[in-house]
Amino acid sequence: MYPLGLLLCSGNIRTHRFAPVDTAPTRSKAVWNIEEVVLTINDLNTYSVPTKPDIRPRTRAIAEAAKDADIVTFQEVVTPYSRHHLQKLLDYPYMYMPRTHARLVPSGLATFSRYPIVDRQSHSFGSITARWEVLMDKSIDLTRVEHPQLGILDIYDLHLHAGYKTWESYSDIRQDQMRAVIDFVRAHSMDESGRLLPGHTIILNGDFNMLPDSPEYKMLMEAGLGVTDVYRQLHPDAPLYTYERENPYVCPSQCPASSARIDYIFIRPAEGLSINWKRSRGRIDTLVNGQALSDHDFLQLQLVLEKTST
């Protein structure tokens, strides 16, 4: 754990629903005019699947903790109660929570935004899975947001296969899923020559269930997407964990015995934008207001983006 202070914004917001879309998102060229913009992002695997404890009080606590960010991405928003009440309590103006039926259990992915969603797309990993996860529609979502100053934000939310007894177990499945992730990001945020679409920023969040020294992580970093591991960039020498054995919701029998960093936020700013890393802040919290929100830790990020060219 290596927390730094985080300043989040507040405001009045309303909820609108979007249905899943099967066609490729429209690729639009954004025009922006800024000197500096602060973008706040929260991410959490909510642990809101059937049979998990304290879903109702945790859902209320999650909404309270997450409500002030510009962008919020969740995983494991599966139960009808958590799906309904996170929408109601967060009360964001724009959201994408696809209702997929490829498996018995939906993907559980959800993205909330203060800014208009102009396109959205989902890709299921299908049969690339094992154990009970064959029942869950593990996926990656793209929520394309139009920011008034930053242009187009391509926000990806995903959930890869868990490790269970050891963090290294099922790495082969996660590597296959990571190949699908890389292809999906290339198809929607890059042109045929492999260049980032003009005016587009990639934000790739979620529960990756991978270690920083894993083959899956190496695959992503060497794929040519040009993304940066935000928390490692902010805290190059700190021990970072997003799944901690001390967390009261961590399963004692089925999960790996060691704490680990398995949740990530990756980013690639649009050409002409840069991140002021010295002024950006990120924190990882097991407890928020004295309460654990999930078996995963809560990621809160404040990015300071600056214009680097005209």
Over range 77-103, report the average pLDDT: 89
Cβ atoms 114, 67 nearer than 8 A: no
Write phi, then psi, for 43 (nearest 5 degrees). -145, 140
Q: What is the pLDDT of residues 169-190, one digit of tens each?
A: 999 999 999 999 999 999 999 9
**Two tokens at 103?**
């498996």
Rounded to two decimals, the pTM is: 0.88
CA-based Rg of the chain, rounded to a whole angstrom? Answer: 18
Cβ atoms 142, 121 nearer than 8 A: yes
Structural domains of the chain, with CATH? 36-307 (3.60.10.10)
Q: Which pLDDT score, from 0 to 100, does residue 136 have? A: 78
Percent of the chain with pLDDT over 90: 72
Q: What is the pLDDT of residues 229-285, one digit of tens each?
A: 999 999 999 989 999 988 999 876 667 878 999 999 999 999 999 999 999 999 999
